[in-house]
Amino acid sequence: MAKKDEDIIWKKARGDMFETFAVELKEFTQAGRLPSSCDQDMEYCLELQKERQKDKNVIMKYEFVPRGHFAKTGGIGKGWEDERYKTRMEYRTCRWEKMFYKDKKKVHSSKQNSTFYQIITDKRDSHAVEEDSYTCPNCGAISKVRELIDGCSYCGTFFKMEDLFPKVTNFFFIEDISGTDKEVNGDIAKTVVPCMLISMICLTYVYSNQNDNGLLMNLIPGVIAGAILGGVLGYFLWAILKIGYIFAQAGKSASMVVNVSGSAKSFEAKMKKYSPEFSYEYFTSKVISMLKMIIFAKEPQELPIYVGDTTGEMFSDILDSSYAGALALKKFEIQGDYCYVTVDAYMEDIYDGDRVRRKKDVFRIVLRKNITTPIQLNFSIKKIHCKSCGVSFDATKQITCPSCSRKYEIDDEDWVIIKKKKK
User: Given its phi and psi angles, is residue 252 left (phi above 0), alpha (psi -120 to 50 degrees) or beta?
Assistant: alpha
Q: Which CATH class is domain 5-175?
A: alpha beta
Cα–Cα distance, 47 to 51 (Å, whole number): 6
Helices 181-210, 215-252: axis angle to 10 degrees equals 140
Mean local confidence (pLDDT), 319-332: 90
More confident residue, 312 or 297: 297
Residue 361: the pLDDT is 95
Across 245-337, where does the E strand assignment appear? Answer: 318-335
Residue 382: the pLDDT is 81
- Nearest one of 415, 372, 410 to 273, comparing CA atoms: 372
Per-residue pLDDT tens over the stretch 69-111: 888 887 888 888 888 899 999 999 999 999 999 988 999 999 9
Confidence (pTM): 0.82
Per-residue pLDDT tens over the stretch 254-287: 444 445 555 677 788 888 888 888 888 889 999 9
Cα–Cα distance, 17 to 53 (Å, whole number): 27
Mean local confidence (pLDDT), 215-243: 78
Return the domain boundaries, the chain: 5-175, 181-252, 300-422
Q: What amino acid is encoded at 303 in this protein?
A: L
DSSP letter at 301 equals G
Q: What amino acid is encoded at 45 in this protein?
A: C
Taking a C-beta distance cutoff of 8 angstroms, is the pair 344, 330 a contact? yes
Q: What percent of the chain has pLDDT over 70?
A: 92
Sheet containing 416-422: order of strands: 318-335, 338-351, 357-370, 416-422
